[in-house]
Every structure is written in structure tokens, then in C-alpha cells.
Amino acid sequence: RVLREDGSLIIHTAPNRWYDKYAYPVVRPFRRMLGQGQNYPRDPRAIIPVNQDVHVNEQDILSMNQNLKAANFRGKVWLDSPPKNRSEGAIMSSLHWIAFNLPPFRWFFEREVFAVAQKR
């Protein structure tokens, strides 16, 4: 055993599988139209080259919940993203707010999956 009887399992993983599969194919052409295509390669993992070799068993909010339950854990799973610190106009700021704050959009646009769980 590695986890104490009353211990917590803390998980952070990225990317959210749904971002790469569903949101990025929308984000990339949109950002290319804005003249930012050089920052959005065809493969989202190519943004950080090492990511092309290291991502296995990517998770989304549902799969993380299912896997924790299957491993006899219960806890909280949520999505988040690092701050963007962008200066954008009102329209882009509004679209960004919708994508990162309102379900179901946030389920796809948030980049990272977090969980804190305990053994049942």
C-alpha cells in the first residue's frame, strides 16, 4: 500500500481529452482566422513538442469519475485551465468567458482535469 487508510489521492492531468478531440478543431481555425495560426499547429500536442511523446491514457471529466469509481475511490473531479492573461476585445472576452464558465462548453474547453479522492 502506498496510500494511508485515511489518505487522499490527488490528481492533476492534462490535457482534458475532450479539448483535444472536440474543442481544438474549433479553436484552431478560429485562431487562424485571427492571424494566430502559427501558435496553433494541426496537432495540439505539438504546441509543446515533448507532449507528442508523453500523453497516454488521457482523461476527461467522465472517464476520471468512472476510473476512480472502478478503483473504489470517491471524491471530487473538476476541470480548470491556467490563466490566459490575454488582452482581447469585448467580443473575444465574452466568447472566452462563455467557453470557460458555462456548461456544457467548459467541459470541452477547460484544458486540465483535477481530482481529490479517498478510498471507499
**Residues 91-115 pLDDT 10s:** 999 999 999 999 999 999 999 999 9
Q: pTM value?
A: 0.88
Specify the 3-state DSSP secondary structure of 77.
strand
pLDDT of residue 68: 98
Interatomic CA distance for residues 73 and 70, integer angstroms: 7
Q: Give per-residue pLDDT as tens, 31-69.
A: 999 999 899 999 998 888 888 888 788 999 999 999 999
pLDDT of residue 104: 97
Q: Which of 23, 4, 11, 1 lies closest to 117 in space, CA to CA?
A: 11
Domain regions of the chain by residue span: 9-119
- Cα 9 to chain centroid distance, Å, stands at 19
Phi (first) and psi of residue 41, to 5 degrees: -65, 165
